Amino acid sequence: MEDSEQYWLKKVEDKEECWLSYGIQMTFRFIWSSFLIGHLFDFMFSAIWMHGYVWALNQYIDIDLSEKSTVVIVEHHLKVVGIKERILHSILISSAVLGMCLMCKYHRVSQNIWKLLRLSMALGALCGLSRCCQMKQRLYPALHEIFYSYLAFFISGVCFLVQFDDLTLRKKEKRE
């Protein structure tokens, strides 16, 4: 065994051990994806940030939020959408992204990041168009949700699909 390989685990050759390792890896990636999607949702739709504040003011609801403070808007959103619902939302989005990646056979064929980017842009546009029709043609919230859908799908897809098999720092040091 070379000095550069002593820090890395041996290659797994047992099929059961491979499946167990793959299952643990995908569970970790699923949890990581759900965590990032949940925080992205909080960032994109919180009235604390300017884009979330403008998004909240452009909603089609019965309450007039234009004269309310940011704290009142945040409390209203937290009352409408609780933490359990946001966690469930992020888990469902991660499940949908994983299902879409499996349907597009990203796990079988080695693909580049540009195909995932195009797929996420197309799905973001589709979600935004449906949301635009649902919100009676309000443009800013629809654009905001198009960007959220695209970014959530792309980040979650990267969490599931990035491979680190050939990435080692020891090889770079050895060449020098």
pLDDT value of residue 135: 66
Query: What is the C-alpha separation between 12 and 19, in angstroms, rounded?
Result: 10
Q: What is the pLDDT of residues 64-91, one digit of tens each?
A: 666 666 666 667 666 777 788 889 989 9
Residue pair 89/41 in contact (Cβ under 8 Å)? The answer is: yes
Does pLDDT of 4 surpass 60? no
Domain boundaries, the chain: 38-162
Query: Tell me, what's the pLDDT at 85?
Result: 87
Check residue 168 and give its pLDDT. Answer: 47
Comparing 77 with 102, the larger pLDDT belongs to: 102
Sequence-separated (6 or more) residues with CB below 8 Å from residue 74:
46, 47, 48
Span 6-33, pLDDT tens digits: 555 566 567 777 788 888 888 999 999 9
> Residue holding tokens 């003011």?
57
Q: What pLDDT score was predicted for residue 116?
A: 87
Plot region of 60 (φ>0 → left; ψ -120 to 50 → alpha; else → beta): beta
pLDDT band at 169 (very low <50, low <70, confident <90, very high): very low
Half-sphere exposure of 91 (CA within 13 A, CB side): 7
Q: How high is the pLDDT of residue 27?
A: 92
Question: How many other β-carbons are positioned within 10 Å of the β-carbon of residue 98?
Answer: 21
What integer pLDDT is reported at residue 32 of this predicted model?
Answer: 94
Q: In terms of pLDDT, which residue wins out, 145 or 93?
A: 93
Quick: pLDDT tens for 114-166. 888 999 999 988 888 887 777 665 677 777 788 888 999 999 999 888 876 65
Q: Which pTM does this prediction carry?
A: 0.71
